């Protein structure tokens, strides 16, 4: 059985002590490929370095909405150059809108998101989109920008069925983290609603550990818990969820078959 963790941040200092062991554990748990995402120019370069040395780890380069106001003038061009030149970079991300953590720099977030989407379009690459406390604003933004189709994923999906429908109609994929394993998770409807052929698995580690491992640092091996929960919801064997989501991730991010 093989899984793909489509969203982690292996460059974070939480992994400094045992990064190699974390990657090995994921491999042993059946995680065939991992995509590790940058959140700014420096971390995008770091993720690339991590990916370069390991055949089954891939990188994404982008500027996260929470770092949009910190970016230097040349950073956007540097992200473009990196994504253009490096075969190990398979997506533009993490990009998007976050009005939960940041209530001050909305204008900078919109500008950065627009610039990152432009790079993705120019290079014909998929995007990994972060959307926190900006469900309505994200949809208004796409409408205003006249963006009706997009290749990529809404990561750590926090919306309802009506929101999922909007993004699915644009052609986007939807991925869930282990927050779906929490006892207080209340959006079971949306888990059922997202069709299997648009579904991806992720950990967003080191954040969001699955319910049984609460308070621990999360890591890519735990993507298995996300698959388990989705298997339960869809009343399918875990093998089938693993197989379908692995195929989806490989198609979207053009990953090798191994
Ligand atoms: Zn995110
Ligand atoms: Zn993330």
- The model's pLDDT over 215-234, given as tens digits with 9 standing for 90+, comes to 899 999 999 999 999 999 99
Q: Which pLDDT score is estimated for 219?
A: 98
Write out the E strands in 133-244. 152-154, 173-176, 199-201
Residues 38-64: pLDDT tens digits? Answer: 999 999 999 999 999 999 999 999 999
Q: Which pLDDT score is estimated for 110?
A: 98
- Cα distances from 121 to residues 93, 124, 138, 154, in angstroms, run 13, 5, 18, 16
**Residue 47 exposure: Cα atoms within 13 Å on the Cβ side:** 35
* 108 within a domain of the structure (yes/no): yes
For ligand 1, the distance from its centroid to the CA atom of residue 114, given in whole angstroms, is 17
* 187 within a domain of the structure (yes/no): yes
Q: Which pLDDT score is estimated for 101?
A: 81
For ligand 1, the distance from its centroid to the CA atom of residue 242, given in whole angstroms, is 22
* 61 within a domain of the structure (yes/no): yes
**Residue 255 exposure: Cα atoms within 13 Å on the Cβ side:** 26
Ligand with the closest atom to the CA of 7: 2
Residues 100-113: pLDDT tens digits? Answer: 987 789 999 999 99
Q: Residues for the chain: how many in total?
A: 258
* 69 within a domain of the structure (yes/no): yes
Q: Which pLDDT score is estimated for 208?
A: 96
Give the DSSP H or E segment for 88.
none
For ligand 2, the distance from its centroid to the CA atom of residue 7, given in whole angstroms, is 6
For ligand 1, the distance from its centroid to the CA atom of residue 8, given in whole angstroms, is 9
Let me know: does 234 contact 247? Beta carbons within 8 Å. no
Residue 258: pLDDT over 80: no
Residue 61, SS3 per DSSP: strand
Domain that holds residue 122: 3-253
For ligand 1, the distance from its centroid to the CA atom of residue 108, given in whole angstroms, is 17
How many domains does the chain divide into? 1
For ligand 2, the distance from its centroid to the CA atom of residue 247, given in whole angstroms, is 21
Residue 79: pLDDT over 80: yes
**The CATH number of the domain where 94 resides is what?**
3.20.20.140
Q: Which pLDDT score is estimated for 1?
A: 86
Residue 251: pLDDT over 90: yes
- What is the percent of the chain where pLDDT is above 70? 100
The residue behind tokens 């982690």 is: 8
For ligand 2, the distance from its centroid to the CA atom of residue 33, given in whole angstroms, is 17
Q: Is this model's pTM higher than 0.95 or not?
A: yes
For ligand 1, the distance from its centroid to the CA atom of residue 55, given in whole angstroms, is 24
Residues 145-176: pLDDT tens digits? Answer: 999 999 999 999 999 999 999 999 999 999 99
* 258 within a domain of the structure (yes/no): no
* 88 within a domain of the structure (yes/no): yes
Mean pLDDT, the chain, rounded, equals 97
For ligand 2, the distance from its centroid to the CA atom of residue 174, given in whole angstroms, is 14
Ligand with the closest atom to the CA of 35: 2
For ligand 2, the distance from its centroid to the CA atom of residue 97, given in whole angstroms, is 12
Residue 139, SS3 per DSSP: helix
* 216 within a domain of the structure (yes/no): yes
Residue 204: pLDDT over 80: yes
For ligand 1, the distance from its centroid to the CA atom of residue 239, given in whole angstroms, is 27
Q: Which pLDDT score is estimated for 205?
A: 98
Q: Which pLDDT score is estimated for 48?
A: 98
Ligand with the closest atom to the CA of 132: 1
Ligand with the closest atom to the CA of 157: 1
Ligand with the closest atom to the CA of 37: 2
Residue 181: pLDDT over 90: yes
For ligand 1, the distance from its centroid to the CA atom of residue 63, given in whole angstroms, is 11
- List the one residue out of 69, 61, 154 whose CA is nearest residue 111: 69
């Amino acid at each position: 059985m093989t899984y793909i963790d489509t969203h982690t941040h292996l460059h974070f200092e939480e992994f400094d002590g045992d990064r190699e062991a974390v990657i090995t554990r994921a491999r042993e748990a059946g995680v065939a490929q991992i995509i590790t995402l940058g959140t700014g120019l420096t971390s995008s370069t770091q993720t690339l370095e991590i990916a370069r040395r390991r055949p089954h780890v891939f990188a994404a380069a982008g500027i996260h909405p929470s770092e949009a106001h910190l970016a230097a003038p040349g950073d956007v061009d540097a992200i473009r150059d990196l994504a253009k030149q490096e075969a190990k970079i398979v997506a533009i991300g993490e990009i998007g809108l976050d009005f939960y953590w940041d209530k001050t720099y909305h204008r900078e977030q919109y500008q950065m998101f627009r610039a990152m989407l432009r790079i993705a379009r120019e290079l014909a690459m998929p995007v990994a989109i972060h959307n926190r406390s900006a469900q309505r604003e994200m949809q208004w933004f796409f409408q205003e920008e006249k963006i009706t189709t997009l290749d990529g994923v809404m990561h750590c999906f926090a919306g309802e069925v009506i929101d999922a429908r909007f993004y699915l109609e644009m052609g986007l994929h939807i991925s869930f983290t282990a927050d779906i394993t929490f006892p207080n998770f209340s959006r079971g409807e949306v888990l059922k609603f997202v069709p299997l052929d648009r579904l991806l698995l992720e950990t967003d580690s080191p954040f969001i550990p699955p319910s049984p491992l609460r308070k621990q640092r999360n890591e890519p091996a735990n993507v298995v818990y996300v698959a388990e929960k989705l298997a339960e919801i869809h009343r399918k064997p875990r093998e089938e969820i693993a197989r379908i989501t692995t195929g989806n991730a490989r198609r979207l991010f053009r990953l090798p078959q191994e």
